[in-house]
Amino acid sequence: MKKLSSANYFIPFGFSDLFGKKDPSKDSGKAAPRNISPKEAKAIMDGGKPYTLLDVRTEEEFRGGHIKGALLIPDYEIEALAEKKLPDKNAVLLVYCQSGARSARASRKLAGMGYTNVNNFGGIMNWPYDIING
């Protein structure tokens, strides 16, 4: 029987996480962002409790149409602007973008920065309610 040397085994960085290692975000003591539906986001908005609606698209996309009351912080500026524009790290944050990719990324960044109630509801393209232009 032929013996295999250790040089024959290659495990790409991060691949070992698929085999029983815990998610590092769960060990960090920081809350993970929640993925919610547009319907759940609308219920929070209509619920009467304070929240911040965060649009993470570009300024041009925002001007083309956004959800009423949204605060614009483009995803690529989250680290630079969040603590200034979002001082309460325990506030309810409702995050969206165009299709859901940037809002997911921004939500993870916010959670990593210590925001404890981050809710990603994906893209405005799936928002069945009113939007405003300007």
Asked, for residue 9, whether it belongs to a domain, the answer is: no
pTM greater than 0.75 (yes/no): yes
pLDDT at position 4: 43
Sheet containing 118-123: order of strands: 34-35, 118-123, 93-97, 52-55, 71-72
Asked, for residue 72, whether it belongs to a domain, the answer is: yes
Question: For residue 121, which of 133, 102, 134, 103 has the smallest C-alpha distance?
Answer: 103
Q: Which domain holds residue 60?
A: 36-126
CATH number at residue 51: 3.40.250.10
Structure tokens at 14: 């991060």
- What is the DSSP-derived secondary structure letter of residue 128? -
Q: Name beta bridge partners: 52.
A: 93
pLDDT in tens, 31-88: 899 999 999 999 999 999 999 999 999 999 999 999 999 999 999 999 999 999 999 9
Confidence of residue 22 (pLDDT cuts 50, 70, 90): very low
Question: For residue 119, which of 127, 110, 128 has the smallest C-alpha distance?
Answer: 110
User: How many domains does the structure of the chain reveal?
Assistant: 1
